[in-house]
Amino acid sequence: MSARKALVLVDVQNDFLPGGSLPVPEGDRIVPLLNRYIDLFHRAGLPIYATRDWHPEQTRHFKAYGGVWPPHCVQGTRGAEFHPDLNLPPETIIVSKGMDPNEDSYSGFQGRTPDGHTFTEALKAREIEHLYVGGVATDYCVRHTVLDARREGFQVTVLEDAIRGVDLVPGDSERALREMVEAGARIARWEDIAREIAARAEASS
Ligand code: VGL
Ligand code: ZN
């Protein structure tokens, strides 16, 4: 039997997309494809997790308090909302991170579900073994989430066509991808995944 799968959408929030306070260039271009992935997994009956950066107004993560970033994704603001075109089904499980004013928390594995469980606990409770990861930013939250997922023992497929990076230093996203592969993540695209997930759905129906 194949590993139980889940889709993980990383930080597809207004502030990380063009028009936001910390925009990932072309970050909005991945939204239509993310919606296709969402539809694919949802139809196959597979769970969908959406991580979100969820900062207090004052945090060491922000420039004004010793960090490197402009304010972004402050709890309850429009910038912290998921992109309005992202079609998240109501069953989507939200994983919030970055609430601790002393921590950056780039990784979804530093986050909590609404009932207070860690991401790992939530995934284990559903016997999920394989994560399919898309979103932003390739060189920050996607990277940290994927590396932590590998450390926690999950299989990981990075949706190469559904991620975008910041590239504060040119080449950061490419280096991040290489690092994820070295950590054992697999890189794939829509063509591969559509076949894989559709085949699974038929086999189990
Ligand atoms: C992120 C920078 C600061 C991310 C979060 O979601 O990749 N990047 N906070
Ligand atoms: Zn942040």
- 3-state secondary structure labels for all residues of the chain: CCCCEEEEEECCEHHHCCCCCCCCCCHHHHHHHHHHHHHHHHHCCCCEEEEEECECCCCCCEHHHCCCECCCCECCCHHHCECCCCCCCCCCEEEEECCCCCCCCCCHHHCECCCCCEHHHHHHHCCCCEEEEEEECHHHHHHHHHHHHHHCCCEEEEEEEEEECCCCCCCHHHHHHHHHHHCCCEEECHHHHHHHHHHHHHHCC
Distance between Cα 44 and ligand 2 center (Å): 32
Residue nearest to atom 3 of ligand 1 (CA): 69
Whole-prediction pTM value? 0.96
State the burial class of residue 30 (Cβ atoms within 10 Å of its Cβ: 0-12, 13-18, 19+).
buried
Indicate the number of domains in the chain.
Answer: 1
Mean pLDDT across 177-202? 90
Domain carrying residue 142: 5-204
> For 34-72, how does the pLDDT look when each residue is reduced to its tens digit (9 = 90+)?
999 999 999 999 999 999 999 999 999 999 999 999 999
Residue nearest to atom 4 of ligand 1 (CA): 141
Please indicate whether residue 69, judged by its CB atom, sits closer than 6 Å to ligand 1.
yes
Q: Which of 11, 53, 139, 148 is catalytic?
A: 11
Q: Which of 141, 142, 143 to mutate to test the pocket of ligand 1 (most atoms within 8 A of CB)?
A: 141
Q: Which CATH number characterizes residue 37's domain? A: 3.40.50.850
Ligand 1 atom nearest 139 alpha carbon? 7
> For 66-92, how does the pLDDT look when each residue is reduced to its tens digit (9 = 90+)?
999 999 999 999 999 999 999 999 999
Categorize the per-residue pLDDT at 3 as very low, low, confident or very high, splitting at 50, 70 and 90.
confident
Residue 125 pLDDT more than 90?
yes
Amino acid at 150: R
